[in-house]
Chain A
Amino acid sequence: MAIDKETVRKVARLARIAEPEQRLEPLARELSGILGWIEQLNEVDIEGVEPMTSAVDMKLKMREDVVQDGPTGGGQPEKIVANAPKTEDHFFVVPKVVE
């Protein structure tokens, strides 16, 4: 499967990655190469084989419905906003985004 320049531009935009115009063509070539390489897997006969959903033979771990302290709990708003460029009253303050 070949990826063209316009697809690279769109995917980059969706992922919010700024790619300069002159990088789009080379990236399209590299991504097409990677996809072509992976497509070789299509040659394998998988008739009757269950799809593999994980590389580890484990069950999904679950937590009980308990409010916790510490990193996986709340009650630490000052830490949550500590890295934000701008905050007020424990809110994150960002450029206006309104529909």
Chain B
Amino acid sequence: MSVQPRKLLKGETGDWEVVVGLEVHAQVISKAKLFSGASAAYGAGPNENVSMVDAAMPGMLPVINRFCVEQAVRTGLGLNAKINLWSRFDRKNYFYPDLPQGYQISQYKDPIVGEGEIEVELDGGETIVVGIERLHLEQDAGKSIHDLSPKESYVDLNRAGVALMEIVSRPDMRSADEAAAYFSKLRTILRYLGTCDGNMEEGSMRADVNVSVRRPGEPFGTRTETKNINSIRYVKQAVEYEARRQIAVLESGGEIEQETRLFNVATGETRPMRSKEDAHDYRYFPDPDLLPLELDPEWVERIRNSLPELPDAKKHRFIRDYGLSAYDAAVLAADRARADYFEAVAKGRDGKLAANWVTTELFGALNRAGREIEATPVAAERLGALIDLIAEGVISGRIAKDVFAVMFETGEDPAKIVEERGLKQVTDAGAIEKVVDEIIAANPAQVEQVKAKPKTFGWFVGQVMKATAGKANPQAVNDILKRKLGLE
């Protein structure tokens, strides 16, 4: 990948390039846990969703949930990645009160999904490709609550054993914005696939952010890993802070230590974790309780054939079939509900006009009202009907905006609003000519002026519109004015 000068960070001693890779933990959507029949639902009472397997009682054995495997395969396919028909589970050993087994069942050397790549759109229309290194299945740990008592921690194992996908990117991102855009795109893909709900407040998706800096063209610098970041905005902040911190250390003659850091949401800063260095000595070994995970290639193909249309495919189709700009197509494809809404409006109509109305007028109004597309007061058919009224010349585009505002308030049928409020466009040439004649007669000075300076023509159009309360057909007004003023 070539160095992009405008993405470099300026330091005291010259330019620096930031290099970012993300490890994203995404909770699998499933009813039961990865290796037990306890519920994976969020929000139950303390230790309600815990089986004897999750509590690591002696003699209990893990049995893998087939649907969780399917979800991981589906996600791998959605990331355009290689599905490994043979993979294996390993034990990752460490001690913590919320990990009753004393190890996490994970996948180390042989993950279920190998290399892939996704397209990521940046603000301003640029698209980058980010490589996926791997995706593996693993168990989540329980939750420790530290604020219920000054000297004790409270442990709830409801999360223990819930299936997670760890999705590891290549170090392909070169700015905080790229890292945030990748995280956001990954969330979109997972939500499309229905394999993770992407709910960051509930911890369904969190990122470990690997950051290093280097002089342009030089080998990778030493990286730090900032753990457990649960929002797109915080990913961006953590990269920005960490890059600045590392540049300051290096420029003052110091060295970057390879270490794990924590992000403080209140200050936007990172700080080193106090854990001992040997915390990273996990002594992985194949889990003797589980046989290798072997997948039937036909089953994988069936999953592939059941995939929904993904955002990139949808984006390209919107560009091709509806003639949209790459930016509009990406905005619409980023969310399945929004994309479906747009298609309902665009079907059989001018795609660009439909995209304009949906992205500008509707999304703008929804934003201002703080509503999601699912709660839109304007149904797709009604917005489509409004566009038809414009296309048929019943109302002008300007009047349509007023009608839309009423629709957004009342949810009413646009034809009814136009009828009741008398907003129909005046296309009757005779009626417009009469207005034009009156205006020309009343403004001889302007008539003289427009012959010398044709640019003042717009003033006449404005006068006619004013006189007709905006209802005159703009094309007809133009034509008649030009003819009467002798400007043709």
Query: What residues of chain A have their CB less than 8 Å away from a CB belonging to chain B?
Result: 10, 13-16, 53-54, 56, 58-68, 70-77, 79-81, 86, 88-99
**Residue in A13, A63, A70, A93 with the greatest tally of chain B CB atoms within 10 Å:** A63
- Nearest CB of chain B from residue A31's CB, rounded to whole Å: 14
Residue from the list B36, B37, B46, B294 in contact with A91, Cβ < 8 A: B46
* C-alpha gap A94/B95 in the complex (Å): 13
Q: Decide if B156 is an interface residue (CB 8 Å cutoff).
A: yes
- A75: which B residues are within 8 A, CB to CB? 48-49
Which of B64-72, B214-222, B351-359 is the contact stretch?
B64-72
* C-alpha gap A40/B201 in the complex (Å): 54
**B270-292 near A? 1/0 per residue, CB < 8 Å:** 00011100100101001000111
> Are the C-beta atoms of B50 and A95 separated by less than 8 Å?
no
- Nearest CB of chain A from residue B230's CB, rounded to whole Å: 16
* C-alpha gap A15/B155 in the complex (Å): 21
- A61: which B residues are within 8 A, CB to CB? 63-64, 291
- B150: which A residues are within 8 A, CB to CB? 96
Given known pairs A53-B292, A91-B156, A98-B153, the reply for A14 and B36 (CB within 8 Å) is no
- Nearest CB of chain A from residue B401's CB, rounded to whole Å: 49
Given known pairs A72-B37, A80-B157, A91-B154, the reply for A66 and B32 (CB within 8 Å) is yes
Q: Would you mind naming 25 contact pairs between A and B with Cβ atoms under 8 Å apart? A: A14-B283, A59-B291, A61-B291, A62-B64, A63-B65, A63-B66, A64-B65, A64-B67, A68-B38, A72-B36, A72-B60, A74-B51, A75-B49, A77-B45, A80-B157, A89-B46, A90-B45, A91-B46, A91-B154, A92-B97, A93-B152, A94-B153, A96-B146, A96-B149, A99-B262
10 more contacts with CB within 8 A, not counting A91-B155, A96-B151, are A10-B281, A60-B64, A63-B32, A63-B65, A65-B30, A71-B52, A71-B53, A91-B148, A94-B153, A95-B153
> Are the C-beta atoms of A95 and B38 separated by less than 8 Å?
no
Given known pairs A60-B290, A90-B46, the reply for A16 and B95 (CB within 8 Å) is yes
Q: How many residues in B have their beta carbons less than 8 Å from beta carbons of A?
A: 58
Query: What residues of chain B have their CB less than 8 Å away from a CB belonging to chain A?
Result: 30-32, 36-39, 44-53, 55, 57, 60, 63-69, 88, 93, 95-97, 144-146, 148-157, 262, 273-275, 278, 281, 283, 286, 290-294
* C-alpha gap A40/B154 in the complex (Å): 49
- Nearest CB of chain B from residue A9's CB, rounded to whole Å: 11
Given known pairs A14-B278, A95-B153, A96-B146, the reply for A63 and B37 (CB within 8 Å) is yes
Given known pairs A65-B65, A80-B50, the reply for A74 and B39 (CB within 8 Å) is yes
> Are the C-beta atoms of B97 and A65 separated by less than 8 Å?
no
> Are the C-beta atoms of B48 and A77 separated by less than 8 Å?
yes
